[in-house]
Structure 1
């Protein structure tokens, strides 16, 4: 019986050591280098699961990052800022704690965001965006997609959206009839008229940049 207890105790100790000391394997080496500079708390030259889980804010501006594939390691991050990197295709999903995400000036062409249940602010301005998928983001309040190449945008799932910036894209029409919380819409630089905005029952908001 004593041997069984000792074996069980040792197994538990080694199991916990493995869990907390597990070194993460990064796909983007520039991403890895950037997080090592800031979050390698025990200075062992690697990011471990416990260190990644302790991160609440990721500020990785102009670090030469080309992929967001490693973001899933930082599941407790509330704020992620990747401005000034070069990430042509971007997919962000299943980060339950994330409240703010910014990647301005990142040369993004395609963006997919899904299952970000606490995300309130999304900034993707000054990119090359041609396609945007925004799905299962119930708390989005502020969305900035200015200075891109968008021809269409589906806003139907963004029920909490209050501030929307779409300036200087290639939009010819926009449907905000389902965005009943919307307060301000900026569409300057899209050659759109009032008739090109489908408002539905939504009338108590301010529209900037519309042609008369």
Structure 2
């Protein structure tokens, strides 16, 4: 009986129906799935397996008709994700321990949250409709672009490595950069901010652009 079972299992493997075959990933957004299949379906079987997703380090999904960014969580080894010019109303990302750059510009997004992205260095969210913006445990961010949004307040104190900050054309009236010791350039044009509305650190050496007289 044991020989029969072993023979049956071997037959399944040889014929391509291994009981241990790779599991198909389930996507929430069909356009997201379609876009990644075009580039990363290595065995051309019409579906993406975890092994294929794990091999992806760069995701460039610009103008793909994507409406949800939830599927980025399937790509655990992604270092760069670009979702520009899609239609995504809100984004919440976490658990991508290798991510270095994330961009979602021109997506009509009103809410963004990122948590536990310990290697994220560059974040680009300009030209959206952002009203809510929250970062937790993102200590390595050095470049942050939030221009052309609807933000009224922003807390950047936890971003100790921040060097470049662009927040042009929002609705910000007060800004505290006293907790950002290595900040080099700050662009606040279009916010009706005077330099006296910006709280600086004692040893601040930042160049500020766009303040009002």
Q: Please say if 1:75 is aligned against 2:76.
A: yes
Residues 33-71 of structure 1: CA deviation (Å, up to 9, x unaligned): 110111000000000000000000000000010111111
2:191 aligned residue: 190
For residues 186 and 203 of structure 2, the distance between their equivalents in structure 1, rounded to whole angstroms, comes to 12
Give the conservation status (yes or no) of the 8 Å contact 1:20–1:50.
no
Task: Determine the C-alpha separation between the residues in 2 that align with 1:197 and 1:19.
Answer: 59
1:26 positional shift = 0.5
Give the 3-state SS of the residue equivalent to 2:139 in structure 1.
coil
- Which residue of 2 is the match for residue 135 of structure 1? 136
Alpha-carbon deviations, 1:64-90, whole Å to 9, x = none?
101111111100000000000011111
Matched, 1:149 2:150: yes
Contact 2:111 2:133 in 1 (8 A): yes
Q: Which runs of 5+ in 1 are unaligned?
A: none
Could you tell me how far 1:200 is from its partner in structure 2? 2.6
Distance 2:135 2:147 in 1: 16
In structure 2, what is the equivalent of residue 125 of structure 1? Answer: 126
Corresponding residue for residue 93 of structure 1: 94
Question: Is contact 1:146–1:167 with CA below 8 Å preserved after alignment?
Answer: yes
Q: Output the aligned Cα RMSD.
A: 2.0
C-alpha contact (below 8 Å) 1:20/1:49 kept by paired residues: no
Distance 1:28 1:18, change over 3 A: farther
Query: In the comparison of the two structures, how many residue pairs are matched?
Result: 204
* Deviations, residues 165-203 of structure 1 (Å, cap 9, x unaligned): 000000001111101110110000101001100113242
Partner secondary structure for residue 155 of structure 2: coil
Give 1:200's aligned residue.
201
